[in-house]
Amino acid sequence: MKKYILIVLVATVLFSCKKEVKEKSGNEKLKIVTTTSQITDLVKALAGDKVALEGLMGAGVDPHLYKASEGDVTKFYNADAIFYSGLHLEGKLEDVFEKMRHQGKKTIAVSDAISKTDLISSADFASSYDPHFWFSVTEWKKVTKYIADELSKLDTKNAIVYTDNAKRYIEKLTVLEKSNEAQLEALPVEKRILVTAHDAFAYFGKVYDFQVVSLQGLSTATEAGVQDVQRISSFIIEHNIKAVFIESSVPVRTVEALQAAVKAKNHEVEIGGTLYSDALGNPGTVEGTYIGMYEYNMKTIVNALK
């Protein structure tokens, strides 16, 4: 019912929007709304102060469960373009964005930058693909170029700025890839087993040769069951895994239940730290940027498992 009301609201707002002709003066900035903190950070890196940027989801916010408020709908209405992740990551927003797109609002799923063959398919997820692609730095480079191209089309007078910034940012991502490889030298392949709260790290696992095990599925909307906890606790003991990880955007209780289940079987497993999965850290901190988040996660994983 709530969703219905929201869609009606969106439709009404867009209808009234179509009636007025929006003319931008030469100095007026492009108004951009972004969903996840990863995308907000990237648009900030590419556009700097050339756009007026409004990021919806802050640190610790879970995109799978995020619902648009009335205030958000006003932000969508005022925006020249909305960048979102897509592939049903924002499970409760995607219908709204689809509807807006049909009504002429510029809504851009950044996952469109990636060809389907480079995505990890997942039969039981709504989009049929794993939406956590930002953990492949290679794919994030494609997203970088895609966003820069879209910004350039929307704001041609600053196109050179977006293109240059994208070039520089992609170079930084290459440096990140090298530093990831260097950090991983301390962790032999047999120790590369990553146990986390929800299934956000499959792309990470694919790139860096980790077996990834999680309590919840690709979305946090489904809670872990007692059987999952029992099965994974046995797996931890069997593989002599030193540490499991909590995630900043997922409640800690499932991982604590897992730790307790291991203890009940007379074994110990540490909590290796908090990983940033579907949201970055606080703005202004190192983990508040995509690159800082990735370095932090890598350091946390290697230190806890080596």
**Which residues are at the interface with Zn ion (CB under 5 A)?**
200, 278
Least spacing, CB of residue 197 vs Zn ion, in Å: 9
The phi and psi torsions of 177 (rounded to 5 degrees) equal: -60, -40
Nearer to Zn ion, 132 or 141 (CB): 132
Least spacing, CB of residue 59 vs Zn ion, in Å: 15
Nearer to Zn ion, 68 or 200 (CB): 200
Least spacing, CB of residue 247 vs Zn ion, in Å: 8
Nearer to Zn ion, 150 or 278 (CB): 278
Nearer to Zn ion, 122 or 282 (CB): 122
Least spacing, CB of residue 110 vs Zn ion, in Å: 15
Q: Are 96 and 72 in contact (CB under 8 A)?
A: no
Structure tokens at 177: 């890839």
Least spacing, CB of residue 120 vs Zn ion, in Å: 13
Distance CA 257, CA 263 (A): 10
Least spacing, CB of residue 106 vs Zn ion, in Å: 25
Distance CA 66, CA 48 (A): 26
Distance CA 128, CA 67 (A): 22
The DSSP result for 31-75, as a single string, is EEEE-SHHHHHHHHHHHGGGEEEEES--TT--TTT----HHHHHH
Question: Pick from 57, 94, 56, 92: which is nearest to 75 by CA?
Answer: 56
DSSP letter, residue 239: T
DSSP letter, residue 259: H
Least spacing, CB of residue 258 vs Zn ion, in Å: 18
Least spacing, CB of residue 219 vs Zn ion, in Å: 6
Nearer to Zn ion, 12 or 222 (CB): 222
Distance CA 7, CA 99 (A): 8
Distances (CA, A) of 68 to 24, 91, 277: 27, 11, 21
Residue type (1 letter), 158:
N
Nearer to Zn ion, 11 or 207 (CB): 207
Nearer to Zn ion, 97 or 162 (CB): 97
Least spacing, CB of residue 214 vs Zn ion, in Å: 10
Nearer to Zn ion, 228 or 278 (CB): 278
Nearer to Zn ion, 94 or 278 (CB): 278
Question: Pick from 218, 215, 219: which is nearest to 246 by CA?
Answer: 215
The phi and psi torsions of 132 (rounded to 5 degrees) equal: -90, 45
CA atoms within 13 A on the CB side of 186: 13
Neighbours of 285 (CB within 10 A): 13
The DSSP result for 168-216, as a single string, is HHHHHHHHHHHHHHHHHTTS-GGG-EEEEEES--HHHHHHHT-EEEEEE
